[in-house]
A = this chain, B = another copy of it.
Amino acid sequence: MPAILLCRRPEASFSAALRERFRVLDFLASGEPLPAFLAAAPAAPEPPRAAVVTGGCSVRVDAWFLDAAPSIRCVVSTGAGVDHIDLAECARRGVAVANSGDVYSTDVADYAVGLLLDVLRQLSAAGRYVRRGSWAVQGDYPLGCKLGGKRVGIIGLGNIGSRVAKRLEAFGCVIQYNSRKPKDSVPYKYFPNVHDLAVESDMLIVACALNKETRHIVNKNVLEALGKSGVIVNIGRGSNIDEEELVLALKEGKIAGAGLDVFEHEPKVPAELFSMDNVVLSRHIAVFTKESRSDLHAHTIGNLEAFFSGQPLLSPVQADSVVQ
């Protein structure tokens, strides 16, 4: 069986499935530094040539990691985002990278629409109102806003963003987007910069990958351009938005509301947001459903098997393909 370096904690069923097919070197379970762990790992019949990693975990795949584990020729991330992998360094060394591909895309897109509807129609906030028993005592709760006909600006029109667009088209929204370059395959209006997109949008949905170019792509200026009745949804990465400025904009009523699945310092959520009824808070869960988890396991194993049999990876990631 080929050896793999496991750099995440898998659920029991995933772990069992991996062990059926691979000799699993479980780095996190070892508690050792990587060089010591690899030195102690039984190298026979061969050292690990592939690593399974994930985002939000202590292991970053960078020059240091690749120096410490020079046998690794393929890195498979179990996340869609690959901001924990230095793609340029991998490319320079000829290390192949795969991510979770399209496994999560529909669930994330669904979730983005759910967050947007929740902010606009106040499902969570008014639900808390009903649960407190206030409906019968205090009467009606303030009205929410219509989704239909609104202009939705999507930042990043990749696997996820394009599915968000498809869904919101069915709600009668006007779709427009920002990405590195315009896409010929879609009929939506393209904006080369996020500020201009925000000026012309009622809502922004952040659906891009996180990298140098997209860190704080939503900053103070963009929030001001979105304006007082604007709503923002983030199912990308927390650091796609300047969180401090976002909290300030919400506090000062410079935007109308937000639906946030991700935060800059997870699992820490800015405490100011807890008391805001125009903000829907979620815990980086857009990708996960009971169903997607088992799809992911199959997909990860598929990528590993492709690598070890010399076939093309199912969902390769190129160094220049991460801004969608």
A contacts, CB < 8 Å to B: 106-107, 110-111, 113-115, 117-118, 120-121, 123-124, 126-131, 133, 135-136, 139-141, 143-148, 166-167, 169-172, 267-269, 274, 280-283, 285, 288-293
**C-alpha gap A281/B131 in the complex (Å):** 7
CB-defined contacts of A288 to chain B, threshold 8 Å: 143-144
Contact of A269 among B135, B144, B146 (CB under 8 A): B135
Residues of B within 8 A of A130 (CB): 269, 281-283
Q: Is the CB of B123 within 8 A of A283?
A: no
Assembled-state Cα–Cα distance A126/B283 (Å): 8
Instruction: Verify A124–B127 contact, CB threshold 8 A.
Output: yes
Asked if A118 and B114 sit within 8 Å, CB to CB, the answer is yes
Contact check, B172 vs A106: say whether CB atoms are below 8 A apart.
yes
Question: Which residue of chain B has the shortest Cβ distance to A139 in the bound complex?
Answer: B267
Chain B residues with CB under 8 Å of A106's CB are 146, 148, 171-172
| Shortest beta-carbon distance from A169 to chain B in Å | 7
Do residues B292 and A107 form an inter-chain contact, with CB atoms below 8 A?
no
Complex interface: chain B residues within 8 A of A144 (CB): 285, 288-290
Docked-complex contact A285 and B126, CB < 8 angstroms = yes
- Known: A124-B123, A267-B135. Is A110-B283 also a contact (CB below 8 A)? no
| Given A141-B285, A283-B130, A169-B172 contact (CB < 8 Å) | no
**Bound Cα distance from A291 to B148, whole angstroms:** 10
With A144-B289, A170-B166, A170-B169 in contact, is A114–B107 under 8 Å at CB?
A: no
